[in-house]
Amino acid sequence: MLKIAAIVGSIRKESFNLRVVETLKERYQEQFELDIITLYDIPMYNPDDELTPPESVITLRKRIKEEDGVLIATPEYNSSIPGVLKNALDWLSRVEMVLVGKPVMIVGGSPGVLGTVRAQMQLRQILNARGIGAHVLPLNEVFIGSLHEKVQDGRLQDENTLKFLDEVIANFIQFVKDTNQR
């Protein structure tokens, strides 16, 4: 079975984006194993520490290295990605560059109407940076607006969004297989 890491860009306990990821884990459990990675314990990146990183960063690198692909769920903070997510990507861009060539897909949602459009545009640019070099699923943009209304009882419940996700996830699975066969 395929193994996908899901990096959650919010460390808020009641994060809607975390709820989306938990929904994906359940909904597609027959198709892949989703390893949910939260960033609570990742300290601020400092170049002085990159050769002797904390245990949490070693574990983060190892988990991503072992997975077939990566899903990133990002909230939008001030028209960009949250600092915790950028910080984790900075760690991952150095020394052991575990995202290089890795198939990645992006999802994100917010209570606003644009549903993380601006954050995701920036995230695609960041994922294309030299030390990151991820192989990002083209097109297939998942912007979930009004997300606070679509999450109920801790799960994404909006039928249209879920149907759209079925298509995107199918595309991503094919993309992961194609990328890893090359």
The one among 112, 128, 166, 178 contacting ligand FMN by CB under 6 A: 112
Distance (Å, whole) CA 2 – CA 161: 23
3-state helix, strand, coil in the chain (%, to 5): 40, 20, 40
Closest CA to 9 of 86, 90, 65: 86
Contact call for residue 177 and ligand FMN (CB under 6 A) = no
Contact 106, 72 (CB under 8 A): yes
Min dist. Cβ of residue 109 to ligand FMN (A): 7
Contact 93, 30 (CB under 8 A): no
Beta strands in 11-158 (DSSP E): 32-37, 69-73, 103-109, 135-136, 142-144, 151-152, 155-156
Q: Which is nearer to ligand FMN, 23 or 93 (CB)?
A: 23
Q: Which is nearer to ligand FMN, 57 or 85 (CB)?
A: 85
The one among 42, 75, 89, 123 contacting ligand FMN by CB under 6 A: 75
Contact call for residue 143 and ligand FMN (CB under 6 A) = no
Min dist. Cβ of residue 97 to ligand FMN (A): 27
Contact call for residue 17 and ligand FMN (CB under 6 A) = yes
Distance (Å, whole) CA 175 – CA 104: 9
Q: Which is nearer to ligand FMN, 18 or 169 (CB)?
A: 18
Q: Which is nearer to ligand FMN, 17 or 93 (CB)?
A: 17
**Structure token pair of residue 130:** 């030299």
Min dist. Cβ of residue 69 to ligand FMN (A): 21
The one among 7, 15, 57, 67 contacting ligand FMN by CB under 6 A: 15
The one among 5, 6, 7, 10 contacting ligand FMN by CB under 6 A: 10
The continuous run of DSSP H or E covering 8 comes out as strand 2-8
Give the footprint of ligand FMN on this chain (CB under 6 A): 10, 12, 15-17, 75-79, 110-112, 114
